[in-house]
């Protein structure tokens, strides 16, 4: 009986792993895009990955100096997010506690699809504003949900 339960657990885990791997295709693979702006290297991504509808998502920018490769901690700015050509709003970018050079916003996206961000920022006390844009996808959470089997559970 114990072997039967262990085998069933292995099949369930294999099934879940297959669904997750199928969801992470080249179109939906975890994304981390890097761009260089104003002497800074900016890496963009979302956490957790894959980015899903109806889940708390953090949009994150990791910023470092191109010269020294050190985290850049003097950035202030905001990000405009748009979807399907319509601007959804502008949000202040905040530092990630305990991670120098990392900045974030948090959101719950309700529609799957391609989104755009435009990060507008200032370096330190300078008045000059710089922008960098990134695109990202939000996937439909329902594509990862497994229906409960009838006759098991409640």
pLDDT tens for 64-100 read 999 999 999 999 999 999 999 999 999 999 999 999 9
What residues have CB less than 8 Å from 75, skipping those under 6 apart?
A: 40, 63, 93, 103, 121, 122, 123
> Which pLDDT value is given to residue 146?
74
Q: In this model, does residue 8 exceed pLDDT 80?
A: no
Please give the Cα distance from 21 to 67 (Å, whole number).
Answer: 38
Residue 130 clears pLDDT 90, i.e. is over it? yes
Query: Mapping DSSP to helix (H, G, I), strand (E, B) and coil, where does residue 154 land?
Result: coil
pLDDT at 10 over 50: no
pLDDT at 9: 42
| Cβ contact 103:61 at 8 Å | yes
Contacts of 137 (CB under 8 A, 6+ apart): 27, 28, 31, 51, 112, 113, 114, 115
Q: How confident is the model at residue 154 (pLDDT cuts 50, 70, 90)?
A: low
Question: What CATH homologous superfamily does 31-144 map to?
Answer: Macroglobulin (MG2) domain (2.60.40.1930)
Q: Which two tokens stand for residue 143?
A: 């594509």
User: Model-level pTM greater than 0.75?
Assistant: no
Cβ partners under 8 Å of residue 82, min gap 6: 88, 115, 116, 118
pLDDT band at 143 (very low <50, low <70, confident <90, very high): confident
pLDDT of residue 21: 37
pLDDT score, position 28: 36
Domain residue ranges of the chain, discontinuous segments joined by +? 1-29, 31-144
Selection from 15-19, 28-32, 89-93, 143-147 with the highest mean pLDDT: 89-93
């Amino acid at each position: 009986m114990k072997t039967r339960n262990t085998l069933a657990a292995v099949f369930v885990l294999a099934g879940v792993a297959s669904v997750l791997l199928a969801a992470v295709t080249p179109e939906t693979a975890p994304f981390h895009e890097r761009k260089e702006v104003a002497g800074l290297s900016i890496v963009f991504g979302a956490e957790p990955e894959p980015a899903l509808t109806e889940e708390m998502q953090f949009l994150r920018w990791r910023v470092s100096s191109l010269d020294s490769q050190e985290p850049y901690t003097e950035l202030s700015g905001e990000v405009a997010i748009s979807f399907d050509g319509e601007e959804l709003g502008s949000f202040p970018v905040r530092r990630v506690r305990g991670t120098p050079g990392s900045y974030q916003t948090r959101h719950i996206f309700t529609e799957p699809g391609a989104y755009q961000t435009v990060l507008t920022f200032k370096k330190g006390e300078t008045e000059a504003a710089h922008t960098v844009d990134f695109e990202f996808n939000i996937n439909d959470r329902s594509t990862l949900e497994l229906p409960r089997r009838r006759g098991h559970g409640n």
